[in-house]
Amino acid sequence: MIEFINVNKTYTNEIKALKQINLKIEQGEFVAVIGLSGAGKSTLIRCINRMHEITSGQLIVGGMDVSKLRGKEVRRFRRRIGMIFQSFNLVTRTTVLKNVLVSFVPDLSFIRKLTGVYIKEHKIKALTALDQVGILDKAFVRVDQLSGGQQQRVALARTLSQNPEIILADEPIASLDPVTSKIVMDDFKRINKEMNISVIMNIHHVEIALQYADRIIGVREGAIVFDDQTAKVTDDILDYIYKGQTEQVLAEIAKEQAYV
């Protein structure tokens, strides 16, 4: 379980990105975090694996107080939590398999790290993960020869090879076309349901969030303004979560015009 207790996050520039967040996410939930740009969605997600440090409050993941972890404990903890980014974060000039195997580097002996020779068990785990996302046949293909959707599946396989309990996904389909987005979202859903891995996703496509997630968390100006089952989301609720969007767009247009 993930639990936020009165969590606040203020960046060094004084921006209060999270304000008094209280939240519980049970193992196996599929949660979409929605809201305007700058609302605090990424910050919320990235605090869970300590990519960002919280300023106050408590964040408990799997019974552990995340802020109290030190050094090796943080690294061990992070390996239980997969992270998927919009930009895939792959080494494109090498093969799919090597990109997945990279996740085992911390487990290798010094010599194996130097020589890049992985043990059989790691290779089996990597190939199994590629099979789980349907791209086993691409194992020896260079990543730069794959489509965006296939590359995101490689990133997903790399995460899966670590047997994570939780996958945090920060805008995973933002750079994909609608058809490919659907394939990747279907992967997330399948992994979530079949492997009981919690998925917490920051997503701009509201209609896709409503289609795939079991639960929607609406964030506005650093606060949670909606948190319930997806079926409870109405147009009025969406208006409320995205309140101020028109003003924001107008302000951006005015700012751009000022430069012209």
Q: Of the two residues 25 and 44, which places its CB atom closer to ligand ATP in the complex?
A: 44
Binding characters for ligand ATP, 2-41, by CB under 6 A (x = yes): ---------x-x-x-x-----------------x-xxxxx
Q: Considering the rule CB under 6 A, would residue 49 count as an interface residue with ligand ATP?
A: no
Q: Of the two residues 38 and 116, which places its CB atom closer to ligand ATP in the complex?
A: 38
Dihedral angle, C-alpha 229, 235, 241, 242, nearest 10 °:
140
Q: Report the nearest approach of ligand ATP to the CB of residue 225 (Å).
A: 13
- Residues 187-246 touching ligand ATP, rule: CB under 6 A, are 202
Three-state SS at 234: coil
Give the pairing type, strands 81-85 and 166-170: parallel
Q: Report the nearest approach of ligand ATP to the CB of residue 208 (Å).
A: 15
Q: Considering the rule CB under 6 A, would residue 42 count as an interface residue with ligand ATP?
A: yes
Q: Report the nearest approach of ligand ATP to the CB of residue 87 (Å).
A: 13
The DSSP 8-state label assigned to residue 94 in this structure reads: S
Single-letter code of the amino acid located at 169 = A
Q: Of the two residues 96 and 201, which places its CB atom closer to ligand ATP in the complex?
A: 201
Residues 81 and 163: beta-carbon distance below 8 Å: no
Q: Length of the chain in residues, anyone? A: 260
How many other C-beta atoms can be found within 10 angstroms of the C-beta atom of residue 42?
Answer: 19
How many other C-beta atoms can be found within 10 angstroms of the C-beta atom of residue 46?
Answer: 18
Number of residues counted as binding ligand ATP (CB under 6 A) = 13
- 117 token code pair: 């020779």
Residues in contact with ligand ATP by the rule CB under 6 A? 11, 13, 15, 17, 35, 37-43, 202
